[in-house]
Amino acid sequence: MKALGTARGFRLVLAGALAVVLLRVGMVGLVLPPLHGGSPGAAAPAHEVKPPARHRGRPHGAGPGKRARAGGPAAASPAAAPPAAGAAAEASRASAAGGAGGAAREAAGEGGGAGAGGPDLGGEVDRGEVWRLLRDIGFPAAPCTGEAGKWKVLLASEYVTGAGGQGRVDVLNEKDHASHLSLAPELVGTFPEEDYGVGGRRCHDTCALVGNSGTVLRSGWGPEIDAHDAVMRINIAPFQGFQQDVGRKTTYDFSNRENARKLLQRRSVRWRDPKSDLLFFEINSPVNRAKIFGPLAKKYGKANPIRFVHPTFVSRSMKLWHALKQSLERQNGKEYHDKPMSGFYAVLFMAQICRRLDMYGFEAYTKRSKTSPYHYFDAVQGVTTAHSFDMALDMFKALGGVFDITVKEAGKA
């Protein structure tokens, strides 16, 4: 009896082992716990594509520099501007078509710059989705076409009302709520008579937008940049000593308030020759107007052209940023930093007055990058906690599917 029980027990063990083997090799779709004891899916194999995480509202810091998988977008828009009906279904179909190309780009590595034009532009977000977002937000989808009176790009005297030296300008915020700015005489005195960003009042055939990435060093782009009809630089970046790589021609300087503050603190300023239009975009804040831009206009307004981007244009740009960001978050299954960089507003500004825009020095920066400095002109330590540079590149590509925008990549023709 004891021997019989032992034999029966051995058969039961053998049958159990065979069942486990069959489960492992024969039942497709069953997820077994990993050998190290973690939860199912904790260490997915390389070939297994995990579904994107559900959007969880306001993002916390995501790690810039990682190349996100590209596919078609889900419907995306800030809460104040829901997408048009049917956009989600169309975006879902685009996602199925775009996944393979995104996987190939991801396999190419981390951190690099955007593709240099051609069909790759607009590949990160479906072109139709970008068209819909521009239409819903009210952006002209072609350069030099914004209708004067309805579309506003720059603060200009034509928009100012008021008497006694005080100015008032009507503006819309990101939620389309109307308000107005009260403007001191020294600020109004810097405004051009007309908003040259609308109605084709100023329209360049070719433009270059020069970013500050250290990847421009040893690029030899200088002559190519200077050959454009107009050139914009970001945050009043210097070119002396770097002309071979970044050129010297400067038509516009697009700057944030921090560089305006630094400019205000200088005893004297050596302006560009010939002088550039110095553009600022953060005038909506009463504190900025009182502490920075008002004093700056009073000190330097007669020495160099100082211009301000219309707050309604900034609000529309923010709206577009959040819509594109939400779309990329949903399709890529990751979260990005919420703050746009100055370059995003600069791209949209130039898209209003340039038929063709070439972008230089906009490769994504990562702290792991050892080959290039953060800026081409100094040794400042790069910061990756405020902006998602990789997402911004995807946005520029998406806009390039509608506008004629090419993101140049160092080392490539």
Domain with residue 348: its CATH number is: 3.90.1480.20
Average pLDDT over residues 344-365: 93
Average pLDDT over residues 151-155: 96
Question: For strand 167-172 and strand 178-183, is the pairing parallel, antiparallel, or unpaired?
Answer: antiparallel
Sign of CA dihedral 11, 14, 15, 16: positive
- Number of domains present in the structure of the chain: 1
Q: Domain range for residue 141?
A: 71-413
Instruction: Please indicate whether residue 385 or residue 252 has the higher confidence score (pLDDT).
Output: 252
pTM of the model: 0.70
Strand, coil or helix: what is 215? Answer: helix
Answer yes or no: is 45 within a domain.
no
Q: How confident is the model at residue 383 (pLDDT cuts 50, 70, 90)?
A: low
Answer yes or no: is 56 within a domain.
no
Most confident of the ranges 202-211, 325-334, 337-346: 202-211
Answer yes or no: is 11 within a domain.
no
Contact 113/215 with Cβ under 8 angstroms? yes
Distance CA 288, CA 338 (A): 21
Question: For strand 306-308 and strand 354-360, is the pairing parallel, antiparallel, or unpaired?
Answer: unpaired
Instruction: Please indicate whether residue 215 or residue 309 has the higher confidence score (pLDDT).
Output: 309
Answer yes or no: is 184 within a domain.
yes
Answer yes or no: is 239 within a domain.
yes
Looking from the CA of 168 toward its CB, the CA atoms found within 13 Å total 8
pLDDT at residue 387, rounded to an integer: 60
Q: Which residue has the tokens 């952006």?
A: 139
Distance CA 260, CA 257 (A): 5
Q: Give strand pairing partners of 169.
A: 181
Answer yes or no: is 52 within a domain.
no
Contact 348/324 with Cβ under 8 angstroms? no
Answer yes or no: is 44 within a domain.
no
Average pLDDT over residues 242-268: 96
pLDDT at residue 37, rounded to an integer: 31
Q: Tell me the two tokens of residue 205.
A: 């055939």
